[in-house]
Structure 1
Amino acid sequence: MAKAKQKEQKSFFPFIKWFWILFGSGILLAVLIFLLASWGAFGDMPTFEHLENPNTNLATEIISADGETLGKLYLDDNRTPVAYEDLPQNLVDALVATEDARYYDHAGIDARGTIRAFAYLGTKGGASTISQQLSRQLFVGVRSKNIFSAITQKIKEWVIATRLERNYTKQEIIAMYLNIYDFLNNADGIRSASRIYFGKEPKDLRTEESAVLVGMLKNSSYFNPIRRPELVKNRRNTVLGQMAKYDYITEKEKDSLQNLEMDINFSPESHREGLATYFRMYTQSWLNKWVRDNPKPDGEKYNIYMDGLKIFTTIDSRMQKNAEEAVEMHMKNLQAEFFHQNTPKRNPTAPFLDLTKGAIDTIMRSGMRTSPRWRSMAREGKSAEEIEKSFHEKTEMTVFDWNSDSYEKDTIMTPLDSIRYYKTFLRTAMMSMEPQTGHVKAWVGGVDYKHFQYDNVYQGARQAGSTFKPFVYAAAIDQLRYSPCDSLPDNQYCIEPLKHGNPEAWCPKNSDGKYSGKNLTLKNALANSVNTVTAQLIDKVGPGSVVAIAKDMGITREILEVPAIALGTPDMNVYEMVGAYGTFANQGVYVKPVMVTRIEDKNGTVLYEYVPETKDVLSKDVAYAVVNLMEGVTQGGSGTRLRHTFAKEQRVYKDVVTGYPYELTNPIAGKTGTTQNQSDGWFMGMVPNLVTGVWVGGDNRSVHFRSLSYGQGASMALPIWALYMKKNYENEELDVSKEAFEAPEEMTINVDCTKVLKEFKEETDTEDDLDDDIGF
């Protein structure tokens, strides 16, 4: 019996032996495969340094002074990483419940899930852990259709996943995975996805919103919220079901959330859309220059599209929004009136005025040769004749249209007709700056960057009109110690030939061609843009003195030293004019406008910090006297409509009531400006801690209103300033001043002109809103 039992055990021993041999061999084979994979037998493996610093492209982020993202610079990857601490718990829970329920219990490979996947050939779910999915995203790539390649890729995933688990915490792996994933529609990473699909930061995502984004992780191209909303909603509900299954939410919460409609707030992040587009493009240009002069420690240049730089700017997103809304509100109405006045019946050469056919043909030909279409076809080797012929062939295109909800419409026209079409639109520029620091708070370079990419704040330069006159008055007060209360006669005044470099006599006229013959205070003369008084002042101080002051106040462009500059013949841009006017508000100290205060790399290392550039130009009492002069513009001159409830005359056009419901009662200094033929309208407005300049005009000087009624600066530009300031005052957090300008403790110049003005008001009406033409 014993022998039989012993014989039976002996016969069973080979099976046990072979079992352990096979089992051990399997383990050794698995170890060998892992070793071979780690040694690169199945393809290159990431180095330890690469694991520590995965090579991902990070977009440069442009950040406002109040901490909002204005936009990003990127080529292919719109990715800005988010730390785990900034992810909402509901997002993490949804991810783990859906993609890797045992995430916190394994070291990169889920053995149970792997066995199930092999046993059921993947029909009951895959076995890829979050760590494995991250390794595939970072280092392995798209799964091959070749079986052998797919198996070796899977082995590499396992190896890399275990390495990632050794190098990073569970929290860091989750953050990396969500930051690396492409959610489609330029939504690279969870932060871009959250902003693009829901218009918010990740930390603000609600549970049902997090479920949408986690659902997209299965296949973002297939589960696309924009193209397949119903499919995505079903997938969202599956994620919510998984969250309930693993007790992250209750069954009641699941039922409630699954019944909600998807609240997609699609906000695409592109270079041509969003807030502060013109400013962002200026910043891009500024950065390109900065990287050329500031290489990395190893000598390489920073890549502004891939290195994840953070650009901290002075722009206040709230004030920028107010500025853009003010521009949109006024320009839409002003354009409607311009179209009303320039119908083919009223103006056969619309939109141009007072031009011959030959002159119009010259403008159109210039428009063709400077167009993107011409440049693109020229690069392709097309001849000038071929290119010009294409401008006469009708084609489908999308053009700007104020009357469409999206401000775009699809149409068919020739490229040449589209050039003429775009000439009909008035352009604008606006910049707002804190004079004490030079910090630019708002920047609007046009009405719509997508269709009008020329930045009129910085690139554009147009005749300044009467907004140049304060420089003349400043020179007179500084050198001759004039007071705003001093007076000069309003008579025809001529500067003799050859004086001040003028080749012939110069006798400027007032805007209405009349002379009152009375003595006018400087305050009243500036308020009503009396050209004869300004001519007398520049004759006394000389054009050279005026140019010197303008240069000291930041005007860099060439200015001819001739008397005619007194009436605004020089071309200026809004950027320099705002900086110069800031000198008056800042008690005579010029502070160069600044837009970028700091640059950091992706690790938070500071690469650049702005150092203010300042210059003492005027004494405090001279600067205050000029401010006092300009306060007269809004008290009894061309800027008095800022104080109106509504204008005396209102016009209703297309259900739009035009008037002036501004009712601003606080101290305001400013100056309107209008150039010859109403080609340019300006308004420079100041309160103690904010200086803002606005320009409005056509693309060509021949595009303008016929009369001063609509064509003057007080009608074209001033309303934008007023609407902007009203919006600013509605938000007390912006702390825009309503106080009086601070007078110097030792004021040596008399600015109290009450008695003189009272006498003057008895003789003339100062409520007219007339501005001036520039005189020649």
Structure 2
Amino acid sequence: MKNYLPFFKKLATKTRSFIGFPKGESKIMRFCRLLWWIIGVGLVSIVLFFSAIAFNWFGFFGEIPSLKALENPKTPLPSVVYTADSMEVARYYSQNKTPLKYEDIDSMTILALLATEDARFANHSGIDAEATVGVILALLKGDNRGGSTISQQLAKNLFKTRSEESKGKLGNAGILSTVVAKAKEWITAVRLERSYTKNEILTMYLNEVTFGNNAFGLHAAAKKYFSTSPDSLEIHQSALLIGLLKAPSTYNPLRNPERAINRRNTVLNQMRKYKYLTRHLLDSLKKLPLDLTVFYEVAETGNSTYYKNHVTQKLKNWCEQNGYDLYADGLEIYLTIDSKIQTHAEEAVAKQMPILQKKFHEQWKGLVPWTDSNKKPLEDYIENAVAKTDYYKFLVEKYGKQSDSIQILLEKPKKMTVFSWENENHRKDTTISTIDSIKYYKQIMRAGMVSLDPYSGHIKAWVGGLDFEYFKFDQVRQAKRQPGSTFKMFVYATAIDSLDMSPCDTILDTNPIIRYEENGEQKIWTPHNADWTNTNRNMTLRHAMGRSINTVTAKLTEKVGWTTVAHYAKKMGITSPLAEVPSIGLGSSDVSLFEMAGAYSTIMNGGMWQEPQILWQVKDKHGKTLHYFHGESRRALSKESAWLMSYMLKGSTQEPHGTSLGLWSYGVLGHGNDVGGKTGTSSNFADGWYMGVTRDLVTGVWVGGEDRAIRFRTSDVGEGSKTALPIFGLYMQSLYADKTSGIRKAPFLEPSVEIKRRYYCPTPTYERYPEKDSTEVQEIVE
């Protein structure tokens, strides 16, 4: 030790020399000089420390929010989807927030926040010196308590100052990293105070904080716990919500009601402390129960979910191309859907389907309702359906494929809520086995419906099924089924446009024999009419189409060429693969309701195919329009041909024995109102279609089973004129009756060009024939 004494003496001498202690100076003066020197060095060190953090020297401390970031803070906001008439139908979010304005917040909520979190908020500039000193003294005593101001908490929450992305090289340096994070919050808080008013800071804070149970922001919290809005909160409700901010999980009122009440009462006591409440009011509020009215938000509800997948994919593509985050940028997205028209469409389906379901059960009573094309019961149909279920796969994984336990569990009855038309909410509690539940659902008839503005392509209604909770497959766009006679329209459009034929041209109604080659094999096709009879008379094209005569359509297909029919169908919007065979005009290829509605719109739109659109426009979070959506368009028919085809479509409601005459019973025909349409039925009555056109709307309806094995037994129930047409009739009937729907009875538009071809050739009324629309035909292959 003696060896080091000279060194320490020398060091002390140099220190006195550096500080500047004069020789002979008193000890008191030396102490004062040393104290001032320490204070000076400390202040310089503090300035250097905060400067180093503010400018992130050498990347040690991590980035701090810039002034630009402070002025435009990036907080994740949900993108909200609205109908064209501003009804909310969906949200995309990582955090489901709804931004509030200061005037939307009840004043007692503000006072509860100030009393509990930052009583001197109005008097400081981001840092509460008194509270900071109090925290330091408390820490020295071993008492760990918070002292952050609301501005500091906002800085922490809004800019994630303690996240991994905000840390620098010293991010994991223990207590030093905590000190650095705290310093960054102080700096950010001061900058926030300079950039925003006190009211704006309070509003931002209440929009940003979490209240637990996925309630982000005050708006979501008020809705979650009390099913109300922030400006309607009672004092005790505000106190509960503010109390949650300290520890949302600890004071969760759903799991820990007693703790939640105690914490609420603590907030109320704080409000009394700062004279925001009277003693009498405090006592009465503390006696109140939690008074929760919990709102459980379901992510996917209602029939809007049927088109949500289609909307989501289109939005994701647009956001990716334009640099937006669908789940965080707070976009306002407007669809073309009209909520009133959508409601009428859903109600029409819901009104007709129970009637059809009853008829289905009556027809198959005591019989096996799943059959092959020869109407014979399908073996192993239910067994194959069971094998596709997730429950069966789970049992196989657990017990092995050959285990008897699987069959026992599949046949074991259990409580279940099933879809049913018996109740208004379409729910029925029952006890049923897994196998029997599959049999039950297989027999439920399905339906789909889409309606659009033919001139803009805007989809006004989209009913993808009966109930998304139970039937998730979308019958509008996902499903592809044989369209039956609705596909005949393409044959007549091809003839009128490519061969300049007219509605008055005639073809003999006799059974044709058509020879053709398919896949290198020579074949013969001999189609017949649905009722197996012929008039043996020449029929005008309009009359033949109006009555859905198979023989005339087959002959016309041979005349124009089935390849040409396929070409026109694609020009008019059909994108599904089409078999170029003689039966193409009778709907032998599967297509979607979505495609067919777009194709029929081509006729009403003067021959221009307009891609059906469900997205209308996107706005940013400030309401500025970012983009209007416009689909593809192309000319598919001449204007004259399109007008002649619209006249042809009216034939089913005007020609003798037209297949759409059933619409008279719904009051939608006559009185100067034009309605056109085409019925369709696939073989064995597996699919019923109706394509209806009016001045304002083109609508497609499909009715059928889950698959082609489920069908009606006879034409008097199973044809499109008996299944799908009534839904269209109910739909238009209710739309016309609703004076707020914007849909009025009106004639079709007058032609915009000179019509040079003859088209007015009324058909005399012959003896009555059965009105059939089935495309069931006889095929003979040689």
Give the TM-score normalised by the residue count of structure 2.
0.75
In the alignment, the residues of structure 1 paired with residue 710 and residue 661 of structure 2 have an alpha-carbon distance, to the nearest angstrom, of 27
1:650 aligned residue: none
2:344 aligned residue (311, 322, 328) = 322
1:638 aligned residue: 659
The amino acid of 2:682's aligned partner reads T
Q: Secondary structure at the match of 1:448?
A: coil
In the alignment, the residues of structure 2 paired with residue 769 and residue 225 of structure 1 have an alpha-carbon distance, to the nearest angstrom, of 66
2:691 aligned residue (643, 659, 684) = 684
CA positional deviation for 1:596: 2.7
Q: 1:207 to 1:151 in 2, by over 3 A?
A: farther
In the alignment, the residues of structure 2 paired with residue 228 and residue 643 of structure 1 have an alpha-carbon distance, to the nearest angstrom, of 63
1:98 aligned residue (92, 112, 132) = 112
Q: 1:290 to 1:510 in 2, by over 3 A?
A: same
Q: How does 1:193-272 map to 2 (within 5 A)?
A: 207-208=232-233, 212=237, 215-219=240-244, 266=295, 268-270=297-299, 272=300
**Percentage of pairs with the same residue:** 34
In the alignment, the residues of structure 2 paired with residue 241 and residue 627 of structure 1 have an alpha-carbon distance, to the nearest angstrom, of 75
In the alignment, the residues of structure 1 paired with residue 551 and residue 444 of structure 2 have an alpha-carbon distance, to the nearest angstrom, of 34
2:596 aligned residue: 577
Q: Secondary structure at the match of 1:590?
A: strand
Q: Secondary structure at the match of 1:644?
A: helix
In the alignment, the residues of structure 1 paired with residue 250 and residue 670 of structure 2 have an alpha-carbon distance, to the nearest angstrom, of 55
In the alignment, the residues of structure 2 paired with residue 634 and residue 187 of structure 1 have an alpha-carbon distance, to the nearest angstrom, of 55
Aligned residues of 1:62 and 1:313 also touching (Cα < 8 A) = yes
The amino acid of 2:338's aligned partner reads D
In the alignment, the residues of structure 1 paired with residue 423 and residue 209 of structure 2 have an alpha-carbon distance, to the nearest angstrom, of 36
Flag structure 2 segments of 5+ consecutive residues without an equivalent: 1-27, 164-173
The amino acid of 1:524's aligned partner reads H
Q: 1:96 to 1:331 in 2, by over 3 A?
A: same
The amino acid of 2:710's aligned partner reads V
In the alignment, the residues of structure 1 paired with residue 404 and residue 536 of structure 2 have an alpha-carbon distance, to the nearest angstrom, of 57
Q: 1:269 to 1:442 in 2, by over 3 A?
A: same
In the alignment, the residues of structure 1 paired with residue 271 and residue 694 of structure 2 have an alpha-carbon distance, to the nearest angstrom, of 58
In the alignment, the residues of structure 1 paired with residue 458 and residue 218 of structure 2 have an alpha-carbon distance, to the nearest angstrom, of 32
1:654 aligned residue: none
Question: CA deviation digits over 1:102-148, x for unaligned, max 9?
Answer: 65454345678889999999x9x997654344345443789xxx999
CA positional deviation for 1:522: 2.9
Question: CA deviation digits over 1:340-386, x for unaligned, max 9?
Answer: 5444xx224569897656x34156426634x45578899xx889838
Alignment pair present for 1:282 and 2:310: yes
CA positional deviation for 1:153: 8.8
CA positional deviation for 1:315: 2.4
1:347 aligned residue: 367
CA positional deviation for 1:466: 1.0
1:527 aligned residue: 546
RMSD of equivalent CA atoms: 5.2
Question: CA deviation digits over 1:442-481, x for unaligned, max 9?
Answer: 2222222233222221111000011111111112222444
The amino acid of 2:352's aligned partner reads H
Q: 1:412 to 1:536 in 2, by over 3 A?
A: same
Q: Secondary structure at the match of 2:634?
A: strand
2:21 aligned residue: none
In the alignment, the residues of structure 2 paired with residue 388 and residue 751 of structure 1 have an alpha-carbon distance, to the nearest angstrom, of 70
Question: CA deviation digits over 1:262-288, x for unaligned, max 9?
Answer: 896946240x21451011111223345
2:678 aligned residue (671, 676, 690) = 671
Aligned residues of 1:182 and 1:189 also touching (Cα < 8 A) = yes
1:478 aligned residue: 497
Q: 1:475 to 1:349 in 2, by over 3 A?
A: closer
Q: Secondary structure at the match of 2:701?
A: strand
> Is 427-436 or 603-612 further displaced after alignment?
603-612
1:509 aligned residue: 528
The amino acid of 2:419's aligned partner reads D
1:134 aligned residue: 154
2:95 aligned residue (58, 72, 77) = 77
Alignment pair present for 1:749 and 2:757: yes
Q: Secondary structure at the match of 1:455?
A: coil
Q: 1:320 to 1:108 in 2, by over 3 A?
A: farther
2:568 aligned residue: 549
Q: 1:295 to 1:479 in 2, by over 3 A?
A: closer
Q: Secondary structure at the match of 1:701?
A: coil
2:441 aligned residue (404, 408, 422) = 422
Aligned residues of 1:368 and 1:419 also touching (Cα < 8 A) = no
Aligned residues of 1:589 and 1:616 also touching (Cα < 8 A) = yes
Q: 1:259 to 1:217 in 2, by over 3 A?
A: closer
CA positional deviation for 1:28: 8.0
1:48 aligned residue: 65
Q: 1:178 to 1:384 in 2, by over 3 A?
A: farther
CA positional deviation for 1:55: 5.7
Q: 1:275 to 1:464 in 2, by over 3 A?
A: closer
Alignment pair present for 1:764 and 2:767: yes
Aligned residues of 2:112 and 2:242 also touching (Cα < 8 A) = no
Aligned residues of 2:607 and 2:635 also touching (Cα < 8 A) = yes
The amino acid of 1:279's aligned partner reads Y
Q: 1:34 to 1:644 in 2, by over 3 A?
A: farther
Question: CA deviation digits over 1:82-120, x for unaligned, max 9?
Answer: 2x5xx3725252431221166545434567888999999
The amino acid of 1:216's aligned partner reads L
In the alignment, the residues of structure 2 paired with residue 477 and residue 700 of structure 1 have an alpha-carbon distance, to the nearest angstrom, of 35
CA positional deviation for 1:179: 2.8
Aligned residues of 2:222 and 2:233 also touching (Cα < 8 A) = no
Flag structure 1 segments of 5+ consecutive residues without an equivalent: 1-12, 297-301, 646-660
Q: How does 1:361-380 map to 2 (within 5 A)?
A: 361=380, 364-365=383-384, 368-369=387-388, 371-372=389-390
Q: 1:151 to 1:615 in 2, by over 3 A?
A: closer
Q: 1:90 to 1:437 in 2, by over 3 A?
A: closer
In the alignment, the residues of structure 2 paired with residue 267 and residue 194 of structure 1 have an alpha-carbon distance, to the nearest angstrom, of 12
2:409 aligned residue: 393
The amino acid of 2:241's aligned partner reads M
In the alignment, the residues of structure 1 paired with residue 585 and residue 370 of structure 2 have an alpha-carbon distance, to the nearest angstrom, of 32
The amino acid of 1:719's aligned partner reads P
The amino acid of 1:317's aligned partner reads S
Q: 1:662 to 1:582 in 2, by over 3 A?
A: closer
> Is 526-535 or 672-681 further displaced after alignment?
526-535
How many pairs does the alignment contain?
A: 708
Aligned residues of 1:62 and 1:311 also touching (Cα < 8 A) = yes
Question: CA deviation digits over 1:46-69, x for unaligned, max 9?
Answer: 612465665644434333333333
Q: 1:166 to 1:544 in 2, by over 3 A?
A: same
In the alignment, the residues of structure 2 paired with residue 104 and residue 263 of structure 1 have an alpha-carbon distance, to the nearest angstrom, of 32
Q: 1:739 to 1:112 in 2, by over 3 A?
A: farther
